[in-house]
Amino acid sequence: MSRRDTSASVRAAGGAPAPVDIECVRESDVLDALASARWPNRVERELADHVASCAICQDVVTVATAIQADHDEAWREANVPSSGQMWWRAEMRARQDAIREASRPVAIAQGVAALFALVVAGVAGWFAWPSVRSLFAAVLPTADGSTMASAAFASPALLPLAIAMGALLIVAPLAIYVVLSEK
């Protein structure tokens, strides 16, 4: 007798459906037998006879069997890595985290050093600007067509300024490379 037959046969006098039981007292016994892999061969005869006569327990067996089969199939298809592989992955992750954590202060120090170098270069350029301007004014032709290059190159500030500019041209790209590189 199916559930539909049960609900159709249970009608009140006025034609309204009477309440139908949707639970069975033996449902937990059936679920226990299914969970412990005793169903259908290793259960007591009384439970097997009950399931044969109870539509609710038959539905429980059908649904639980399908769920168990799906669970077993998923378990067989699962690709669980070995414990050694998991340990190795955890070690590698821990090492990478430690390296990242240890290199953070170094990266901050490099950034501060690059910023300091740019500030020093800017300040040096600010203070050296009058000498550079006079150097360009001496090298560039004047209104009468003559240049004063010999006087500008004789300046005592020219040699330190040239050394500072050369060092800046060498150190600045190197500092930028060190700050921006990942190694």
pLDDT at 2: 43
d(CA 168, CA 51): 90
What is the separation of C-alpha 26 from the centre of its chain, rounded to a whole number of angstroms? 48
* 106 pLDDT higher than 50: yes
H helix intervals, 10-82: 27-35, 45-53, 55-77
What is the separation of C-alpha 125 from the centre of its chain, rounded to a whole number of angstroms? 45
d(CA 93, CA 12): 69
72-89 average pLDDT score: 89
State the residue for tokens 């109870």. Answer: 54
143-164 average pLDDT score: 63
For residues 112 and 182, the model is more confident at 112
* 169 pLDDT higher than 90: no
What does the DSSP 8-state code read for residue 138?
H
* 33 pLDDT higher than 70: yes
Give 1's pLDDT tier (boundaries 50, 70, 90): very low
Give 95's pLDDT tier (boundaries 50, 70, 90): very high
For residues 75 and 96, the model is more confident at 96
How many other CB atoms sit within 10 Å of the CB of residue 158? 15
d(CA 136, CA 153): 11
* 98 pLDDT higher than 80: yes
- Name the region of 145 (left: φ>0; alpha: ψ -120 to 50; beta: rest): left
Lowest mean pLDDT among 23-27, 53-57, 179-183: 179-183
Per the CB < 8 A criterion, the answer to whether 155 and 131 are in contact is yes
d(CA 75, CA 85): 20
